[in-house]
Amino acid sequence: MEGAIVCRKCGQEHRLHNGVLDVVADRPTGDGVDETEGWVRFADREGWNALDEKYLDSLPFFVAKKLMPKDTLTWDRHCRNFFRTLSYLDLEGKRVLDVGAGRCWSTRYLAMQGGECTATDIMSAPNVGLETAAHYLKNRSIYFERIRCDMNEFPFNDGSFDLVFAQGAVHHSLDMPRTFQEVGRVLAPGGLLVLTNEHCNDWRAEERIEVKDMPGIHEHCYRGYRLWRWLKQAGFGKLQIIPDAYYYKRNDYCYRTFSELGRIHSFFIKLKLLIYGGVFNLIARKK
């Protein structure tokens, strides 16, 4: 829980505090990478700094909003898309990396499915970051490692994982091509990249989103065709799109038509995302 480890490759010492290994604190990162201050402010507004253990246990289910009324996150959508995608995966005995895990509720469920999990995030602060996971590891039959690092510079050897998972996280990257390249590097051949509750914009829209109530937090909505291109460049082959749980709430007639056709063939879901954008869940296999 406390101490330090030394990298045998470069000799750098890294601090271990409250069970979280920090490989960021002693070296510079890219400008603006660390979103901790923005998330701490957001957490204060949402009421997270008075966390109740029942609230943590309820994530990502919609009941969390009843336990934390100020919480504005769309837990109903997150929950349905997360578990829908999880049903496609066999995690038993797999080496799993959870990127942008935050408070690690997603890592908890990945570990419960039998994955040998490592949670990473740029934030380790209690209530918003990796230290929050102490609740899930206390008196539980699961365990996972926690490492504070940048998603564009993982401290892992090539081919270290069978599956890389990210729940509503990769759109926070300031350099998405590099993020996908890093994911491809740490994945073993044939490994899977799984994204849930991600979103993309249509082919003409702005990609940088300024959210007035979330200063210091990086929000992007990259154009769909660029996301697919970056994935291909990073060595990913077949892309399986799992539809958003709430596509039917969109009023546009053509959007709904593409969504209905997507029940017949996933090509129409990809076409809809390229033209209109939207929320998606993705499973991509490394070649």
In a domain, 13, yes or no: no
In a domain, 170, yes or no: yes
Outline where 148-197 has alpha helix (H).
176-186
Domain that holds residue 171: 34-286
The structure's pTM equals 0.90
CATH code for the domain in which residue 80 is found: 3.40.50.150
In a domain, 24, yes or no: no
Sign of the CA dihedral with 120 first, then 197, 163, and 88 last: positive
Residue 212's pLDDT is 56
Residue 248's pLDDT is 47
Pull the structure tokens for residue 181. Answer: 């390249």
Euclidean distance between CA atoms 110 and 286, whole angstroms? 20
Pull the structure tokens for residue 59. Answer: 């994530």
Question: How many separate domains does the chain show?
Answer: 1
**Proportion of the chain above pLDDT 90, given as a percent:** 52
Residue 86's pLDDT is 96
In a domain, 7, yes or no: no
Going by pLDDT thresholds of 50, 70 and 90, the confidence category of residue 82 is very high
Strand bridging mode 236-243 / 278-286: antiparallel
Burial class (CB in 10 A: 0-12, 13-18, 19+), 87: exposed
How many C-beta neighbours within 10 Å does residue 79 have? 19
pLDDT exceeds 90 at position 36: no
- For 120-155, the pLDDT digits (tens) are 999 888 888 999 999 999 877 899 999 999 999 999
